[in-house]
């Protein structure tokens, strides 16, 4: 989890690949951006380094911080359920399942060390703004992207009640 100390507004010079959908309590976590409207999320990427503090987290209540912000932190690799030893399967699914929501690359400070970008290139960035780390009522595509194997897309006539209370973590 190494990084040097702060060097300007972009923040620490990271030497470890960063997860762009991290938890705020992770060591080295920083705010990546602010989620827009919950029903049509469009991440506003910060243009300055902002470390996570208890005060910042408290400001998001009663919402969970991961519902209203995205955080970036050093990739946990084998400690993360999405990592297969070489790749992040979460971003693989995101690129396969979710549509691009922008043609241009978002203005993002962590691109040089972003694991998603390193693995999937611009295809990850073109889908990144729609990602919310904690979604309480995910649609089918978002659930598939979050959870992967064992799930299938529901047909339009199938009951959705069984998934209404399910949340997704991306
Ligand atoms: S996927 Fe692209 S836009 Fe998203 S955090 Fe990584 S570099 Fe930034």
Tell me the best of 14, 18, 19, 20 to mutate to test the pocket of ligand 1, counting ligand atoms within 8 Å of each CB and taking the most: 20
- Nearest residue CA, atom 3 of ligand 1? 125
Counting from 1 in the atom list of ligand 1, the atom nearest the Cα of 109 is 8
The tens digit of pLDDT for each residue in 62-76 reads 999 999 999 999 999
The tens digit of pLDDT for each residue in 90-121 reads 999 999 999 999 999 999 999 999 999 999 99
Q: How far is the C-alpha of 94 from the C-alpha of 157, rounded, in Å?
A: 25
User: For the chain, what is the mean pLDDT?
Assistant: 85
E runs forming strands in the chain: 3-6, 12-14, 18-22, 30-34, 44-45, 69-74, 134-135, 168-169
Among 10, 11, 19, 9, residue whose Cα is nearest residue 1:
19
Tell me the best of 125, 129, 130 to mutate to test the pocket of ligand 1, counting ligand atoms within 8 Å of each CB and taking the most: 125
Domain tally, the chain: 1
pLDDT in tens, the chain (170 residues): 344 444 457 777 777 999 999 999 999 999 999 998 777 889 999 999 999 999 999 999 999 999 999 999 999 999 999 999 999 999 999 999 999 999 999 999 999 999 999 999 999 999 999 999 998 888 999 999 998 864 443 333 332 222 333 567 78
Question: How far does residue 158's CA lie from ligand 1's centre (Å)?
Answer: 35
Locate 27 and state its tokens: 């060591």
Q: How far is the C-alpha of 20 from the C-alpha of 8, rounded, in Å?
A: 20
Whether the Cβ atoms of residue 102 and residue 126 lie closer than 8 Å to each other = yes
E runs forming strands in 94-160: 134-135
Q: Could you tell me the residue range of the domain that residue 137 belongs to? A: 3-169
């Amino acid at each position: 989890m190494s990084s040097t100390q702060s060097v300007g507004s972009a923040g620490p010079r990271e030497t470890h690949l960063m997860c762009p959908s991290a938890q705020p309590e992770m060591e080295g976590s920083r705010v990546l951006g602010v989620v827009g409207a919950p029903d049509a999320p469009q991440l506003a990427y910060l243009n300055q380094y902002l470390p996570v503090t208890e005060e910042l987290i408290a400001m998001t209540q009663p919402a969970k911080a991961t519902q209203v912000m995205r955080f970036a932190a050093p990739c946990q690799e084998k400690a993360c359920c999405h990592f297969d030893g070489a790749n992040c399967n979460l971003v693989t699914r995101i690129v396969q399942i979710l549509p691009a929501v922008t043609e241009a690359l978002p203005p993002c400070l962590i691109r040089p060390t972003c694991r998603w970008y390193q693995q999937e290139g611009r295809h990850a960035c073109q889908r990144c703004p729609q990602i919310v780390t904690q979604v309480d009522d995910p649609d089918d595509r978002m659930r598939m992207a979050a959870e992967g194997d064992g799930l299938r897309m529901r047909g339009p006539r199938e009951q959705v009640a069984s998934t209404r209370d399910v949340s997704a973590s991306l």
